[in-house]
Structure 1
Amino acid sequence: MEWLAGHFEFVSHPEAWVALVTLVVLEIVLGIDNLIFISILTNKLPKEQQARARRIGISAALILRLALLGTISIIVQLTEPVFELFGHGFSWRDLILIAGGLFLVWKATKEIHHSVDPDDGKENMMGQVTMSAGAAIVQILLLDLVFSIDSIITAVGMTNELAIMFIAVISAVTVMLIAAEPLSRFIAANPTVVMLALAFLLMIGMTLIADGMGFHVPKGYIYAAMGFSALVESLNMLARRKRARAKALQGGAGK
């Protein structure tokens, strides 16, 4: 009990609560990238498998992040350079971010290609007519690993309290679990939003590659651009609905 109480001493320090709230918000924002990917990928599955695949994928993300927090001393060492190329030292974190970024860029590009040319004979990103739930979950876990390592390193940079990190991670993944179904339905019901979400993934993939190469792009710029694009698309959706209602009223009046 004394060991457990020692991890929650931060409750008596106001600055620790500020760090907790800030980290929870940051983890939720960072989770948006992962959630968009999960929503798009699981929407390619048969209807009866989608919700289950999302729950398994997000639950696995929680387990993975908690496991990584348990090995935080190893995670911190991932930022140490392991080799140098063109005057830049590359760490394991850099290599993981680059690999994850390339993975995202490839997937987003394949899906955009299919959206533009649906008669290319490829039903999904893997070039298969159908995708199994197992294949979707494996791909979700691969991206979970990339986003989780980046998330944990961000948490380490903000606080030394392990309890705060655990609470922030659990809170963020809980929000993802709650938001997954509504977001997936919204994306599935609005084809133009799908293209916008794919563009987001493409941008996020390029950002991961740039970060891994040593060119840090402030997250605020990325999410500001995503927010502005989402606002513009929302206005377009409202305009389309208004035109559809006006057309329906005109059709009714004509009769």
Structure 2
Amino acid sequence: MFSFLADPTAYVALSTLVVMEIVLGIDNLIFISILSNKLPEGRRQKARWLGIGLALILRLGLLSTVAFIVQLTEPLFEAFGDGFSWRDIILIAGGLFLVWKATREIHHSVDPVDHKDTMVGNAVSITFGAAIFQILLLDLVFSVDSIITAVGMTDEIGIMVIAVVAAVAVMLLAADPLARFIEANPTIVMLALGFLLMIGTTLIADGFGFHVPKGYIYAAMAFSALVEFLNILARRKRQKDAALHGDGGTVA
């Protein structure tokens, strides 16, 4: 399976696919991070690691059935003049779930009355089993999309396996710092929910045959994250200046 290692050109395909898999894993990681933050402190890391582990198992399991995965792109029926495959149905269902979940959380976050089930703050409003079930559902959607992308880029199973394992390893390393950063900055939660809303809409559009280049999506996410990062720096500077001014006033 790893005979391709003797071919220098295979490393170009491998590095390209590793980067692609890591980028595709960002969506999955954002959802896992903000959902796990709703759990009690002692169970959050376990939920994140279990969710990412399930993502790895699903991806490797799907790789063992590449012939079946390829068939998922074959049209099952036609509607509105377009053919729909199992992949399209999975993407549409996953996109609808993401849009529903993100919209629900945004509603609870901004509603001054009904705030018991929000991702903002320390309120625990979901059980461990429910969190893992929701993570598993999205793992399946993102895994199918990830493996179909990998199949479209190379025929070497070994390259796919290495790329998937590398991407999941990066997710494991980034999961805890990302979750802590999101928890420490409530405005980031709203931004992440906006990302999930956009990702869900993109999945639905892709399922209906309207492909949106991933580069545009991640460029928009990166720009929004940069703006929010600058806002955080400005807010911290104002707080620091206010504290110094207060101290100075006290001394005077």
Common fold: TM-score over 0.5: yes
- 1:104 corresponds to which of 89, 95, 98: 98
Question: Partners in 2 of 1:217 and 1:130 — Cα distance?
Answer: 34
**CA deviation after TM superposition for structure 1 residue 10, in Å:** 1.2
Aligned to 1:149: 144
The answer to whether the 8 A contact 1:124-1:131 is kept is no
SS in structure 2 at match of 1:84: strand
Q: List per-residue Cα deviations over 1:161-217 (Å, max 9, x = no partner).
A: 000000000010011011100000000000110000000000000000000000000
1:200–1:142 distance in 2 versus 1, CA, 3 Å: same
The answer to whether the 8 A contact 1:93-1:212 is kept is yes
**CA deviation after TM superposition for structure 1 residue 14, in Å:** 1.9
**How many pairs were matched up?**
247
Could you tell me the TM-score, scaled by structure 1's length? Answer: 0.95
Matched, 1:216 2:179: no
Question: Partners in 2 of 1:185 and 1:124 — Cα distance?
Answer: 17
Question: Partners in 2 of 1:29 and 1:224 — Cα distance?
Answer: 11
> Post-superposition, which runs of at least 4 consecutive aligned residues in structure 1 deviate over 6 A?
none
Question: Partners in 1 of 2:2 and 2:62 — Cα distance?
Answer: 20
**CA deviation after TM superposition for structure 1 residue 143, in Å:** 0.2
Aligned to 1:134: 129
RMSD: 1.2
Task: Extract unaligned runs of 5+ from structure 1.
Answer: 1-6
SS in structure 1 at match of 2:117: coil
**CA deviation after TM superposition for structure 1 residue 38, in Å:** 0.3
Question: Partners in 2 of 1:51 and 1:141 — Cα distance?
Answer: 16
Could you tell me the TM-score, scaled by structure 2's length? Answer: 0.96
Question: Partners in 2 of 1:235 and 1:130 — Cα distance?
Answer: 31
Question: Partners in 2 of 1:84 and 1:188 — Cα distance?
Answer: 44
Question: Partners in 2 of 1:148 and 1:55 — Cα distance?
Answer: 16
Question: Partners in 2 of 1:189 and 1:224 — Cα distance?
Answer: 24
Question: Partners in 2 of 1:9 and 1:45 — Cα distance?
Answer: 44
Aligned to 1:38: 32
